[in-house]
Homo-oligomer: A and B are copies of this chain.
Amino acid sequence: MKYRVGVIGGGQLARMMTVPAINLGIELKVLAETANSSANLATTVVGDYTNLETVLDFAKGVDVITFDHEHVPLKILEALEAKGISVQPNSKALAHAQNKLVMRQALEAIGAPNPRWLAVSTPSELDGFIAENGPEVIVKTPIGGYDGKGVRVVRSASDVSDWFEPSTLSSLGGKLLAEQKVAFVREMAQLSARSPSGEFKAWPIVETRQKNGVCSEVLAPAPNTSSELVAKAMEIAKLISTSLGVTGNLAVEMFETADGKLLVNELAMRPHNSGHFSIEGSTTSQFEQHLRAVLNLPLGDTEVPEAAVMVNLLGVSDEVDFVENYPELMRSFKSAKLHSYGKSPRIGRKLGHITVIGQTHESALATALQARAAILGLQ
């Protein structure tokens, strides 16, 4: 007997799932887009995840299907489910991570804290929303956005006139999502996991710092955070995952407002960049937890140290590989734990991350930033 998990998508999240799969003797199979994906070691099928035959064939050899990303069309997942294949999270839950309008509606229905929002299908509807909530608001494409793509700050509907083009709008489902531009004091993320049996475990909320819409640093647990806020964040995650039937990991990206409120920004139903610190910085890493959750195995503990800091390594060149800076990193930054995603370099591409566990966030962050500069050759 062996537990067998099939992951659709061959990115760094699937790659990092490979490690707990090795430790626990779980057979991990990956359906990757290309042979040279980040998760190439566990790749058993290279193919198109929008092709039903490909996905059905891949699913034959595993006990459960889960994901490296949320781009698999729902109709593919519904077809798997119709054949009795276990999909975790299932298509009903995943719909909320694929479509931001579906998410806003559901969060409103269950009483989770949304910013003010509106589904807009015409420029005049958007201008009306801006008049009430402006001068600036956020407009998002309901589907297909990630890492800052599909998101714009606008002062007028004319700033997204391209998205209102009939063919574009129709491809996006006929509506855009307009959201209040929240005057937040910081961005945070609440990571948790839930199993089909209903067991739920959450890590303490973390602080996330973005650059150009992409996660740059994560401080875990979030510094200067009251126990009330920590409890409130877990409560929101539990409400969402239970109400929406999420299984596996759930990341709830949130804004903290000046008056100490949390507002939900985005949802992800898979391991998440905000949880990479947990590989070294928690009893159970988010990648192990996700595998345990989708297999309906008991979940692991989620204790964290005083201070863990994760910094992303984004490519600074299309040519230079950071591998040549390994000696300097390893010589000078003994506490920096490097994770490479095995990708070829490209400006702005997530190539890896570094985690530092420290006594304080200040010291861990300082070390992590210096280590990042060293490996990226920016010193």
Contacts and interface: CB of A to CB of B under 8 A. Distances in A.
Interface in A7-49: 15-16, 18-19, 22-25, 41-42
A160 to B, nearest CB: 39
A146 interface: no
A339 B301 CA distance: 17
Nearest to A302: B334
B292 A323 contact: no
B334 A300 contact: yes
Contacts of A18: 22, 41
Contacts of A299: 330
Contacts of A41: 18, 22, 41-42
A301 B336 CA distance: 11
A3 interface: yes
Number of identical protomers: 2
A305 to B, nearest CB: 12
A335 B337 CA distance: 22
Q: Which of A22, A297, A323, A327 has the most CB of B within 10 A?
A: A22
A342 B25 contact: yes
A335 B297 CA distance: 15
Given A16-B22, A23-B337, A41-B41, 15 more contacts: A3-B326, A18-B22, A19-B19, A22-B342, A23-B340, A24-B338, A25-B341, A25-B342, A283-B334, A283-B335, A297-B326, A298-B327, A298-B331, A300-B330, A301-B334
Please list the 6 inter-chain residue pairs (A to B) with the smallest Cβ-Cβ separation, ordered nearest first.
A25-B340, A298-B330, A298-B331, A301-B334, A25-B342, A1-B323
